[in-house]
Amino acid sequence: MDEEYDVIVLGTGLKECILSGLLSVDRLKVLHMDRNDYYGGESASLNLNQLWEKFRGSSKPPPELGSSRDYNVDMVPKFMMANGALVRVLIHTDVTKYLYFKAVDGSYVYNKGKIHKVPATDIEALKSPLMGLFEKRRARKFFIYVQNYEDDDLKTHEGLDLTRATSKELFEKFGLDDNTIDFIGHALALHRDDRYLNEPALETLRKVKLYSESLARFQSGSPYIYPLYGLGELPQAFARLSAVYGGTYMLSKPDCILEFDEEGKVRGVTSEGETARAKKVVCDPSYVRNKVKKVGKVVRAICIMSHPIPNTNDSQSVQIILPQKQLGRKSDMYVFCCSYSHNVAPKGKYIAFVSTEAETDMPEAELEPGLSLLGPVEETFFDVYDRYEPVNDPSLDNVFISKSYDPTTHFETTVQDVLAMYTRITGKLLDLSVDLSAASAAEE
């Protein structure tokens, strides 16, 4: 350990593992350490015994739930957009050869007390019970505009400058009502609250376009894919990648202490009396409590069931988004469900998660609207954790800190954080213009 590295990475959470892999592919000399004896950190996948140990202490899971090792329960469950940035990173780094993906069956939105399939194309808009006849026609025109829009072809802009016009103005141009705006903004563009309405519309349009292109990719009921055996496979795949390119991994390294020089710049990490030297350190917030601030709290319910979520067309895997306005909240709620079809539970068992940003001092009660959609549940575990963001300036101390995981059940915000950190560490943008067909072989 007593040697010099380009970068030391602390924690084997998903973000840290992706960065470790990307930096290793760039031929940087990387040392990756974790205080735990397992990969994944906050984003690990647990078997049934580990789940019980974490939430119930000494008791044992009931035998009728099946074999412990048939479970892979994500602590931070998230689906991937089929054409999204994470899939591009997987292809860019060739990590797809370590993983197998399967399409997710359904994508739904909560509206007026019911759940509906999310329409994402002009044809789906015409069939959707979410809208009345005239609204369907307006929505269809909006989707055609999105599908035809090209940045460098002014004819497709129809007189709008989307770098200046707000999302609200774009929706007004098509005369869309509040209900339609709600599902487009939250279930397609995946905005987490309504601040986006007053921001330039181009970002929203690109997100809706990404959703519909991802939906077309595998011709399934949703734009999402998810790895077989759960997300715990991802950190390990990136760890393998880093090792292939010469990265060094050390688990069970307690008390990793950052060492700084007299100018306040990091110069290495000490653990068990040994110091590894490096000019840059990447870590999650738990390693540097004095350089982060609390920005919120996530509450999540983990539920084991013996049936698919009702009203989702018997989907074996599904995401439901409950927009904030539908619940009278400041932030959205998310339902995520997968099952034996993705090898995360024994046959006939389903794992559902309900998550949101806690807004009161009774966070578990806040999940009721999402939990009420699940039907009978055999076991429920509640997880509440604080969300942190860095407050340091990496240009001054060379410490690059990831943000805590938010309650979303998709990867778009996670990857944005990773790519921004990559640029701050290396000073360059990651080129994600890849041949997306390279991932389709791994899809099934």
2 burial type by CB count under 10 A (0-12 exposed, 13-18 middle, 19+ buried): exposed
Please give the Cα distance from 294 to 276 (Å, whole number).
Answer: 29
Mean pLDDT, residues 13-23 = 92
pLDDT, tens digit, for every residue of 155-192? 999 999 999 999 999 999 999 999 999 999 999 999 99
Tokens of 346: 């024994």
Please give the Cα distance from 300 to 383 (Å, whole number).
Answer: 5
Neighbours of 127 (CB within 10 A): 12
In this prediction, residue 97 has a pLDDT band, given cuts at 50, 70 and 90, of confident
Query: 167 vs 171, 174, 182, 207, 330, CA distance in Å?
Result: 6, 11, 12, 12, 19
What is the per-residue pLDDT for 441? 39
Of the chain, the percentage scoring pLDDT greater than 70 comes to 98
State phi, psi for 202 to the nearest 5 degrees: -60, -40
Give the CA angle between residues 103, 413, 420 to the nearest 5°: 125
Residue 201 C-alpha from the chain's centroid: 23
Helix (H, G, I), strand (E, B) or coil at 263: coil
In this prediction, residue 217 has a pLDDT band, given cuts at 50, 70 and 90, of confident
Label residues 261-299 b or e (16+ Cβ within 10 Å = b): eeeeebbbbebeeeebbbebbbbbbbbbeebbeeebbbb
| Residues in Cβ contact with 141 at an 8 Å cutoff, skipping those fewer than 6 apart | 122, 174
pLDDT, tens digit, for every residue of 351-367? 999 999 999 999 999 99
Say yes or no to pLDDT of 421 above 70.
yes
- Residue 18: in which H helix or E strand, if any? helix 14-25
Percent of residues in the chain assigned helix, strand, coil, to nearest 5 = 40, 25, 35
Q: Give the DSSP letter of residue 98.
A: G
pTM given for the model: 0.92
Residue-averaged pLDDT of the chain: 92
Using an 8 Å Cβ cutoff, are 424 and 402 in contact?
A: no
